[in-house]
Each structure stands twice: as structure tokens, then as C-alpha cells.
Structure 1
Amino acid sequence: MSFIQAKPAATHDFYGPIHKGLRLAQTQMLVRLGACGGDDADELTTLLGDLTALLHMAEHHLVNEDKWVHTALEARAPGSTQRLAQSHEHHRHAFGELEALIGEVEAAEPSGHARLMRQLYLRFTLFAADDLAHMAEEEQLMLPVLQSLFTDEELVGIEDRILSALSPEEIVGFGRLMIPAATRADRIALLSAMRANAPAEAFAAIMQLSARATLSDADYGHLCEGLGLAA
């Protein structure tokens, strides 16, 4: 990327909110995997389901970056996404290995759960470490490049196209990650933007199913006050 002179003129950051949410989900999942010995069938079923859902969301995030962000970057700086594309392929390989391990746990006898859960835990640890480094690289190196090549309006347009392609269920799901991971001020800004661009019933669902479901009473009250809503 050294051939691109990154002198940002724009300020919009579409990496930060979703990356904070993914970091929150991954670190919480890491703790849960480490604490699960596989001897409680209900706990194991819930945990594996939640891990599968997280992997699907992470893969969906890569697809959106490939389709919208990388395509836009290549149009203005050909060759600039080669390293990112390699990282994404590495991630997809990790998804496949993790999903295979999940299948092994689900098919195993209870006596084999502890051993397989340790394997799953360690493999997820490697994936999380790799993804944390990848997301930091995108924010520290790629974001300034994007901000030097695109205006704020263009960056917001890319973000809007990503959001418009999400189903209501996906928006709620991503909201459950992004909202609790954000600062109080950023939550107000995020939900204000959602309210401005979403139908009233969709915004109400996000407030109830994403914000209310994940925030403390104090944080939810602060959010509602910032939005001018009754808690």
C-alpha cells in the first residue's frame, strides 16, 4: 500500500462500529468456549448454535467488504486490495475448519466432548487472534487510504448500500453486536442514522431487539434521552 499517499480528506469511519461489535462477540465467545467442558448437553447445544451464528455473521461481513468496499477501492487504486483478499481467503479457510469441528462435536459421544471442545477452543483462539490483527490493519492502514480516495458522501453511500442489502433479521443481529460495543455518544449517532434511514417499525424493532436486549438500564436510558425518546 506504500504507493498510495494516504492524506485523508474524509472523516467517515464505517469500519469502527462493526469491528467493535465483532471484537465483542469474539472475545465473549472465546470465554464461553474455554469454560465449556461439553458435559451439559443444553449448554453445549446453545453454545455451538451461537458459534455457528457468529461465524455466519463474520463471513457475511467479509462478503460485504469484498462486494462493496474492495470493488470501490480497486476502481480507484488497482491492486490495492490484494493483501486484504488474501486475508479474507485465510478467514474462509478458518471458517471451514471451525464448522467441521462443530460438526465433530455434534456427532461425538459425550465421552469425547471434552477433548473436541478443547480443539474447537484452540482453533477459535487462532481465528480470533488473526481476525483482531486483520481488523486493526483495516482501521489503521486501509481506512486512511479510503478517506484519501473518497469523500465522506461517497463513503456513506458505500455503507448505505451494504446496509440496504441486509435483511431485517440481519440488521437486528448486527445491531446486537454493534450497539453494546459502542460508546454512549457513538450509540446515539448510530441509532440516529438508523432512525433517519429506516421505516418507523424497523427502527422500533432495532431499539427493542438490539438496544433494549443488550444494554443496561442506565445505558438504555442514556440512549433514549439522547434520541429524545421515552425509555
Structure 2
Amino acid sequence: MHARHNIYGFIHKALRHFLSDTLVALGRLDVADAQETDTVLAQARQLLALCRMHLEHENRFVHPALEACDPGSASRIAGEHVHHEEDIALLLGQVDAVDAARGDASACMAAAGRLYRHMAVFVGDNFVHMDYEEREHNATLWAHYTDMQLHAIEGAIVAALTPATSALSMRWMLPALSHPERVGLLQGMRANAPAAAFGSALTAARERLGTRDWDKLSASLGLEQAVAA
């Protein structure tokens, strides 16, 4: 059977990667190391900003499509989005609290511990939330829309991304994809996206992939032959 287009697939892999990595980074954070603390708090802020934008885009582009074909089908996740917005605001405040406490080692460690625990709950909630979307929302979308229509919805989401957000998404997406998914994504970008966007994605892949994955990708895209020519 033809595999239907999963509008959630790639971005959810990116978010799972970003969420997991950030949680681990917070759990091992040494608040006495100023450079490490700067890096980890910046990553947490980037994650939460991307999560907020992801919610906004699903609310704006995906939920209307669900409601148009099956009224009420988006209501559960729409309600969870409201709670996630509240969680994001809380977590951003806790990131700021860690930053503000850096002059007091004990207070900073306590603030970092609170942030880590709340982030762990947020990550767990999001994993369950994304699984529901991929099972239930996809079933509804596949029953009522063609793959071409789903690609159009996804295209509208991509077009709404700022260049910075697009680059951030790609940074976490590429290492999270399987090799065939990675090749398919970049082949599509090479064929349809501006050359600068494809070049930026290749740079991200080169920076983020291990040697074996990069060599496989390079060979599949014919990059070595292109350089030799």
C-alpha cells in the first residue's frame, strides 16, 4: 500500500530530538560553569520558542483543516495547546529564574533543579500529545484529504517560517531522520527550494551528522560526483 503523507512526521522527530537533548542538558548542567550555563539556557529558550511557534502553526493551518472535514476532531488537542502555552510561559520564567540566581550558587542550583523537573513533565506530556496527533489526527486527515492537499497545508506552514526558525528546525530535524527520510527531504529541497535554502540545509547536515551518516548522504545526493565534475 502507498504510505500516506505524514504531515507531523518530520517536525515531530525534530521536536522529540530537541526536547530530549535539552532535558538531558538541563539534568547535567553545572551552574558553576558560566559558559555551559549560557549555552544550555539559550538552548532551552530556543526550544520553547520553537514549541510555541509549532503550536501556533498547528492552530492556524492544521486544526481548521481537521474541523472543516470532521467538526470537533481538533478540540482535544486545541485544549492541550492552551495548557502547553501556559507551560511554556512557566518554563521561560524558570529559565529566567536560573539566570537571575547565578550570583548565588545554592539558589541557582535549586532553580536549575526546578527547571529540570518541570521540563521533564513538559517533555513527557509532549511525547504523549504528539503520539495522539500522529494516530488520531492523521487518520482524520487521510480519510478526507489527498496527499497533494496535505503537502499544500505543509507548504503553507513552511512558508510561514522565518529563515531563523527554518534553520533551527533543520538543525534538529536532519540528525533525527532516518537516512532515506534525510535523502528524500534534501532531494525535494534541491528540486523545489531556493538554492540558498538547500545550501543552508547541506551545511546543517555537514555540521550535525556523524561521519558515516554524512558520507552516506553525500553519496546518495551525488555530492562527491558534483565536486569532482
Same fold by TM (over 0.5)? Answer: yes
For residue 90 of structure 1, report the CA deviation from its aligned partner.
1.0
Matching residue within 116, 125, 128 for 1:130: 125
2:202 is equivalent to residue 207 of structure 1: yes
CA distance in 1, matches of 2:41, 2:119: 12
Unaligned ranges ≥5, structure 1: 1-7
User: What code does the residue aligned with 1:87 have?
Assistant: E
CA distance in 2, matches of 1:64, 1:196: 25
For residue 127 of structure 1, report the CA deviation from its aligned partner.
0.3
User: What code does the residue aligned with 2:207 have?
Assistant: A
State whether residues 66 and 137 of structure 2, in contact with CA within 8 Å, keep that contact through their aligned partners in structure 1.
no
Matching residue within 9, 13, 16 for 1:20: 13
Unaligned ranges ≥5, structure 2: none
What is aligned with 1:59? 52
User: What code does the residue aligned with 1:220 have?
Assistant: W
Matching residue within 213, 216, 229 for 2:223: 229
CA distance in 2, matches of 1:76, 1:145: 8
User: What code does the residue aligned with 2:50 have?
Assistant: M
Number of residue-to-residue matches in the alignment: 223
Runs of 4+ that moved beyond 2 A: none
CA distance in 2, matches of 1:160, 1:29: 28
Please state whether the residue corresponding to 1:213 is helix, strand or coil. helix
State whether residues 97 and 111 of structure 2, in contact with CA within 8 Å, keep that contact through their aligned partners in structure 1.
yes
2:192 is equivalent to residue 219 of structure 1: no
Distance 1:149 1:198, change over 3 A: same
Structure 2 matches for 1:43-192, cutoff 5 A? Answer: 43-108=36-101, 109-111=103-105, 112-192=107-187
Query: Superposition RMSD on alpha carbons, in Å?
Result: 1.6
State whether residues 70 and 140 of structure 2, in contact with CA within 8 Å, keep that contact through their aligned partners in structure 1.
no
TM-score, scaled to structure 1: 0.92
For residue 60 of structure 1, report the CA deviation from its aligned partner.
0.8
State whether residues 10 and 150 of structure 1, in contact with CA within 8 Å, keep that contact through their aligned partners in structure 2.
no
Which sits farther off after the overlay, 45-54 or 107-116? 107-116
What is aligned with 1:193? 188
State whether residues 59 and 92 of structure 1, in contact with CA within 8 Å, keep that contact through their aligned partners in structure 2.
yes
TM-score, scaled to structure 2: 0.93
What is aligned with 1:5? none
User: What code does the residue aligned with 2:166 have?
Assistant: I
**What percentage of aligned pairs have identical amino acids?**
37
State whether residues 10 and 152 of structure 1, in contact with CA within 8 Å, keep that contact through their aligned partners in structure 2.
no
